[in-house]
Amino acid sequence: MAVTRPVDTDSHVYLVDGSGYIFRAYHALPPLTRSDGTPVGAVQGFCNMLWKLLEDLKGEDQPTHLAVIFDYSGKSFRNDFYEAYKAHRPDPPEDLVPQFGLIRDATRAFQLPCIEMEGYEADDLIATYAKQAAALGARVTVASSDKDLMQLVNGQVTMLDPMKAKRIGPDEVREKFGVGPERVIDVQALAGDSVDNVPGVPGIGIKTAAQLIEEYGDLDTLLARAGEIKQPKRREKLIEHAEGARVSRRLVTLKDDIEIDSPLEEFGTADPEAESLLGFLRSMEFRTLTRRVEEALGSGPADETGDATAPVERDRYECVQTMDALNRWIARAKAARVVAVDTETDALSACASRLVGVSLAVAPGQACYIPLGHLGGDLADGGGRPEQIDMAAALGALKPLLQDPAVLKVGQNLKYDLAVLKRHDIDVAPYDDTMLISYVQEAGLHGHGMDELAQTLLGHTCISFKEVAGSGKSQKSFAEVDLKSATAYAAEDADVTLRLYEILKPSLAQRSMATIYETLERPMPGVLARMELAGVKVDVAQLSRLSSDFAQKMAEAEEGAHAAAGTKFNLGSPKQIGEILFGQMGLPGGKKTKGGAWSTDAAVLDQLAAEGHDLPRQLLTWRQFSKLKSTYSDALKAAINPDTGRVHTSFSLAATTTGRLSSSEPNLQNIPIRTEEGRTIREAFIAEPGHVLVAADYSQIELRLLAHIAGVDALKDAFKAGHDIHAMTASEMFGVPLDEMDGATRRKAKAINFGIIYGISAFGLANNLGIGRDEAKAYIDSYFRKFPGIADYMDAMKAEAKERGYVQTLFGRRCHFPGIRDKNPAMRQFAERQAINAPIQGTAADIIRRAMIRMEDAIGRAGLKARMLLQVHDELVFEAPEDEADRLIEVVREVMEGAALPAVALSVPLDVEAKAAKTWGQAH
């Protein structure tokens, strides 16, 4: 744990260039993966280096202060004046990406400060800290071998190559650059750096640059007197590229006056607490290093307050009601470098609710609640508004903590809190989400809500919301809950979240799911929170018109139905419909429902209507309009947020077994499109004036993935050639030439193609096509013969699910099916069909997640203002200024079509159809 210790002339400050080290370790060391496949080579190199540094320096060179400093991902201030800076750098290798997060975890496990700052590179932070420390008289060691840091070297500041254990002082710098440290930037400005896109002066390398600087003293003098140079080529180049040299000097000159968040004094070194470090090293499977650390530190039992499984004591939570108390908690959180955060609001919707309080936990059992928006009126609080810190002041103090790149914020379903805090202009980062850490490991096995996780992982029963707010009609909003109950409830949430994190996070690595979590889960809450906050505009007048149209159609159908039945009844009651149709009228009943009653669903009513009966026809019409009115036109109008005038859905990240999202309150993933009447609802989704909606959807993505995953050459070739896939299937199966294909045959093939994806059964296909079971069976057999690979794929998935309990997507996401070993054959077969479907549906879900994660950045880089609003499984919906539409479509298509790369190279192309229009309906 870092301690606070003043910096003075006896201090020795170590500044470790974490980012520089990551790349060197990655390239210098052989690739290493943990047993679960997570790449950890760079992490191991990094941990070895840190440990060696700490051990080697036990003598007189021992650091009194130490911090590890990282680049902030994204652009730096240098791009503000020179756009091309580091622009040609390729994206880091796929197997390095997950290690960035792990290396920050490693730093925290060593209990060392982990420093980064938006807009700055690690080198600038190091320069700033080095200057401050030197000014206080301390000695400084910069642990790096990066030549760009050599300009910092002087009598007090030396560098240490952490891999070669070699000291770099002024003499070594002179050896490398031919000039002393104080002239290094001049030499770099002339020589340039092709790797970082620093232009320099063409034709001049380090040797020549050093010679010129030696001769003329410094860069400005050289450029001013360039005309005196004897060699004509060199003279011309220098005169021509003088400005390039000046820009280059600005690029290579490190910024040493950044306003830093974490002062030097907080970097005081202390022996690391053994268990948390060892826990991390063991989870990474670094056996040698684990043993070394065990020997050096001993490994006693965990400290009582640090045990995630210690009993939860609700009365020990603190209710924070003064700025002093709040500042103490913020300091504790900063020191701990990890803090669990939870927000309480007065309603369930993140977009429509008001912030009521924030809770924090810094260690198991160490949690507080900060009430901010509680109302008076409760007798327990004496009737008045309870004593609370001013909301703006509290958020002002919390903001730097919540945005501090060196403090990890942990939440349970953090998307909600991100959205609430974003509305108060706070961008929480970095973060981890316990719900997602659980989901990525155990999707399909159980739910991932906090109460359930606390029960199973901690054996703890959380206070229910009802216990503090009541239930039913008398339920209070959280703002009306008294502070004592609110503190017990809210602080417990943060406490439990932190404990869950300590248990769940290490298991992520143990089961080699860290890469999936890092690439497909961790980035999502931020993306979705922004989409939900953006919302989508709907045309209120249009919805009102539709509601009254539908009401009229319903009334007509109701009248017709009552007339046809000869009696009045409730058209919304399947029970009454059954009694009339199959009782009074004596029609033959078709299938039964699960509960044993006669089914009256659309398939049954359709059949009866086709036989010429009027009542089922009227019922179908009534149901259609009743559905459109109550579920869509009425509900959407009621869902409009009065502040924004838009509809804000909530996306759920941990609801499905396959990795798909779900949408609720309202569900915007099931807006009608299949029928003409239904489409009118989609026409009510509109763009702001001067804007358009762009809808982009993957064409046939699941069939394409089936072709790739099952290795079906005929399907692959058809997709590569851009053929109509259902017509091709029909032609193969039924022997009809493509140019003679009729609609009915193609429709049959289409049903079979979909059936395959769903884990086909003869009964299901027969039902769907309205044919006999024998005929359906013959179709399936014929399909398997024509497309070898499919049957093998199905058998393989069933076997894999049976053996492991889960199947995997192409990217490695696991979908569990506990029913696969059930003794009930129906349950088992259900699980088998799920196991066949999940890798296909799940891979498609992974691909669109990857596209979404890359999309915002791609839109930003293209200089567009467009916003991503909705995801509907294979479709993304955007809103953009009219004049951006064409460019947006280009960017969106590029990102979506390439979303599987580089992790997976598909053997079929992904095709995206995109269109811009004023309404969602027209954008299809």
Partner DNA sequence: ATGTTCACG
Partner DNA sequence: GACGTACGTGAACATC
Pick from 58, 473, 568, 674: which binds DNA (CB under 7 A)? 674
Pick from 106, 647, 653, 838: which binds DNA (CB under 7 A)? 838
Q: Is 678 in the site for DNA (CB under 7 A)?
A: yes
Least distance to DNA from the beta carbon of 431, Å?
23
Least distance to DNA from the beta carbon of 624, Å?
5
Pick from 343, 412, 837, 919: which binds DNA (CB under 7 A)? 837
Rounded to whole angstroms, the Cα distance separating 539 from 746 reads: 38
DSSP 8-state secondary structure symbol assigned to residue 521:
I
Least distance to DNA from the beta carbon of 793, Å?
15
DSSP 8-state secondary structure symbol assigned to residue 805:
S
Of the pair 629, 708, the CB lying nearest DNA is at: 629
> What 3 state SS string does 710-734 have?
HCCHHHHHHHHHCCCHHHHHHHHHH
User: DSSP E strands: which ranges in 56-147?
Assistant: 65-69, 114-115, 139-143
Of the pair 204, 752, the CB lying nearest DNA is at: 752
Pick from 796, 829, 893, 904: which binds DNA (CB under 7 A)? 829
Q: DSSP letters of 147-178?
A: GGGGGG-SSSEEEEETTTTEEE-HHHHHHHHS
Of the pair 99, 837, the CB lying nearest DNA is at: 837
Burial class (CB in 10 A: 0-12, 13-18, 19+), 26: buried
Helix (H) / strand (E) element for 832: namely: helix 825-861
- Which stretch, 4-12, 244-252, 753-761, 904-912, contacts DNA (CB under 7 A)? 753-761
Of the pair 113, 535, the CB lying nearest DNA is at: 535
Rounded to whole angstroms, the Cα distance separating 521 from 432 reads: 10
Helix (H) / strand (E) element for 358: namely: strand 355-363
Least distance to DNA from the beta carbon of 674, Å?
3
Pick from 137, 384, 572, 818: which binds DNA (CB under 7 A)? 572
Of the pair 735, 770, the CB lying nearest DNA is at: 770
Among positions 589-628, residues that touch DNA (CB under 7 A) are 593-597, 599-603, 605, 620, 623-624, 626-628
Q: Is 461 in the site for DNA (CB under 7 A)?
A: no
Q: Is 570 in the site for DNA (CB under 7 A)?
A: yes
Pick from 319, 410, 765, 892: which binds DNA (CB under 7 A)? 765
Q: DSSP letters of 620-687?
A: HHHHHHHHIIIIIIHHHHHTB-TTTSEE--EEESSS-SSS--EEESS--S----SSHHHHHHHTTEEP
Q: Is 755 in the site for DNA (CB under 7 A)?
A: yes
Q: Copy the structure tokens of residue 658.
A: 């396959």
- Rounded to 5 degrees, what are φ and ψ at 105? -60, -40
Q: Is 752 in the site for DNA (CB under 7 A)?
A: yes
Of the pair 3, 778, the CB lying nearest DNA is at: 778
Of the pair 247, 419, the CB lying nearest DNA is at: 419
Other CB atoms within a 10 A radius of the CB of residue 517 amount to 23
Pairing of strands 691-698, 875-881: antiparallel
Least distance to DNA from the beta carbon of 399, Å?
32
Among positions 278-317, residues that touch DNA (CB under 7 A) are none
Dihedral angle of Cα 165, 168, 171, 177, to the nearest 10 degrees = 120
DSSP 8-state secondary structure symbol assigned to residue 306:
G
Of the pair 208, 761, the CB lying nearest DNA is at: 761
Pick from 18, 20, 405, 672: which binds DNA (CB under 7 A)? 672
Least distance to DNA from the beta carbon of 753, Å?
8
- Which stretch, 182-190, 240-248, 520-528, 566-574, contacts DNA (CB under 7 A)? 566-574
Among positions 647-666, residues that touch DNA (CB under 7 A) are 652, 655-658, 660, 662-666
Helix (H, G, I), strand (E, B) or coil at 65: strand
- Torsion sign over Cα 621, 627, 629, 630: positive
Least distance to DNA from the beta carbon of 836, Å?
8
Among positions 864-923, residues that touch DNA (CB under 7 A) are 872-875
- Which stretch, 242-250, 365-373, 473-481, 832-840, contacts DNA (CB under 7 A)? 832-840
> What 3 state SS string does 776-789 have?
HHHHHHHHHHHCCC
Of the pair 129, 920, the CB lying nearest DNA is at: 920
Q: Is 751 in the site for DNA (CB under 7 A)?
A: yes
Least distance to DNA from the beta carbon of 742, Å?
19
- Which stretch, 62-70, 90-98, 550-558, 826-834, contacts DNA (CB under 7 A)? 826-834
Q: Packing angle between helix 790-804 and helix 825-861, nearest 10 degrees? A: 100
Q: Is 336 in the site for DNA (CB under 7 A)?
A: no
218 CB-side CA count, 13 A: 7
Number of residues that bind DNA (CB under 7 A): 75
Q: Copy the structure tokens of residue 734.
A: 């039924």
Taking every pair of C-alpha atoms in the chain, what is the biggest distance, in angstroms?
112
Of the pair 81, 763, the CB lying nearest DNA is at: 763
Least distance to DNA from the beta carbon of 545, Å?
19
Contact 535, 644 (CB under 8 A): yes
Of the pair 96, 647, the CB lying nearest DNA is at: 647
Pick from 170, 377, 711, 764: which binds DNA (CB under 7 A)? 764
Q: Is 465 in the site for DNA (CB under 7 A)?
A: no
Least distance to DNA from the beta carbon of 660, Å?
6
- Rounded to 5 degrees, what are φ and ψ at 710? -85, -5
Rounded to whole angstroms, the Cα distance separating 698 from 848 reads: 9
Among positions 25-84, residues that touch DNA (CB under 7 A) are none
Burial class (CB in 10 A: 0-12, 13-18, 19+), 200: buried
Contact 565, 580 (CB under 8 A): yes
Least distance to DNA from the beta carbon of 658, Å?
5
Q: Copy the structure tokens of residue 497.
A: 């979240």
Of the pair 362, 684, the CB lying nearest DNA is at: 684
Q: Is 548 in the site for DNA (CB under 7 A)?
A: no
Q: Copy the structure tokens of residue 910.
A: 């992904």
In whole angstroms, how far apart are CA 564 and each of 51, 576, 598, 615, 848? 85, 14, 20, 5, 49
Q: Is 822 in the site for DNA (CB under 7 A)?
A: no
Of the pair 29, 827, the CB lying nearest DNA is at: 827
End-to-end CA distance of the chain: 57
Least distance to DNA from the beta carbon of 559, Å?
17
DSSP 8-state secondary structure symbol assigned to residue 296:
H
Of the pair 57, 827, the CB lying nearest DNA is at: 827
- Which stretch, 99-107, 212-220, 255-263, 565-573, contacts DNA (CB under 7 A)? 565-573
Least distance to DNA from the beta carbon of 623, Å?
4
- Which stretch, 19-27, 177-185, 535-543, 748-756, contacts DNA (CB under 7 A)? 748-756
Q: Copy the structure tokens of residue 703.
A: 């069939």
Q: Is 760 in the site for DNA (CB under 7 A)?
A: yes
- Torsion sign over Cα 417, 423, 426, 427: positive
Among positions 686-745, residues that touch DNA (CB under 7 A) are 697
Among positions 404-433, residues that touch DNA (CB under 7 A) are none
Pick from 735, 826, 863, 905: which binds DNA (CB under 7 A)? 826
Least distance to DNA from the beta carbon of 857, Å?
24
Least distance to DNA from the beta carbon of 594, Å?
3
Helix (H) / strand (E) element for 468: namely: helix 465-469
Least distance to DNA from the beta carbon of 905, Å?
23
Tokens 């000869």 — which residue? 566
